[in-house]
């Protein structure tokens, strides 16, 4: 992966787009002192370079009925570790799994999972997650409250 050289204007554009994802080039240009066309060209260049990957809509999960968030620490069997890619691919197909990380330490994966309630997580766990081959152990931590959740990077 190649590091992209960003100047101060690029950094300001990225900062604003993270804070206000729907901001158009005209509004953004006014905020940082660029014309609409110059701002648009820079945004397009940042997209072309792969710096800007997408602009997701942020949804309040509880307002759409996803009241339970779980962090699952998954340890694979020794034999299962040779199938890291297979596990990764399988959990990628589950919409309940929002994030999946390969981690160092006493577990192999950290998953962030959302469901309607504890019963729905139990069903997901028994019918999907625990059925994947190579799983030795899953430790689940239920989130009681969100203190900080952001996708804004400190640029």
Give 93-136 pLDDT, tens digit per residue: 999 999 999 999 999 999 999 999 999 999 999 999 999 988 99
Tokens of 28: 């953004």
pLDDT at 143: 97
Contacts of 79 (CB under 8 A, 6+ apart): 134
Q: Taken in order 131, 122, 137, 88, is the CA torsion positive or negative?
A: positive
Task: Determine the Cα–Cα distance for residues 16 and 31; give it in Å rounded to an integer.
Answer: 9
Task: Determine the Cα–Cα distance for residues 99 and 33; give it in Å rounded to an integer.
Answer: 36
Domain architecture of the chain: domains with CATH: 8-48 (1.10.10.10), 61-142 (3.30.70.920)
Average of per-residue pLDDT values in the chain: 92
Q: How many CB atoms lie within 10 A of CB 25?
A: 19
CB of 113 within 8 A of CB of 72?
yes
pTM here is: 0.80
Give tens-digit pLDDT for 25-52: 999 999 999 999 999 999 999 999 999 9
């Amino acid at each position: 992966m190649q590091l992209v050289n960003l100047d101060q204007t690029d950094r300001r554009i990225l900062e604003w787009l993270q804070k206000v994802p729907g901001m158009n080039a005209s509004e953004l240009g006014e905020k940082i002192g660029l014309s609409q066309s110059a701002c648009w060209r820079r945004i397009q260049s940042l997209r072309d370079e792969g710096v800007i990957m997408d602009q997701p809509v942020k949804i309040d999960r509880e307002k759409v009925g996803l009241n339970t968030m779980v962090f699952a620490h998954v340890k694979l069997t020794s034999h299962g570790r040779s199938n890291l890619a297979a596990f990764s691919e399988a959990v990628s197909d589950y919409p309940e799994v929002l994030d999946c990380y390969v981690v160092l330490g006493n577990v192999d994966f950290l998953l962030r999972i959302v469901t309607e309630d504890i019963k729905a997580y139990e069903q997901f766990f028994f019918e999907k997650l625990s059925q994947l081959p190579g799983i030795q152990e899953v430790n689940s931590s239920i989130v009681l409250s969100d203190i900080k959740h952001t996708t804004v990077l400190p640029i």
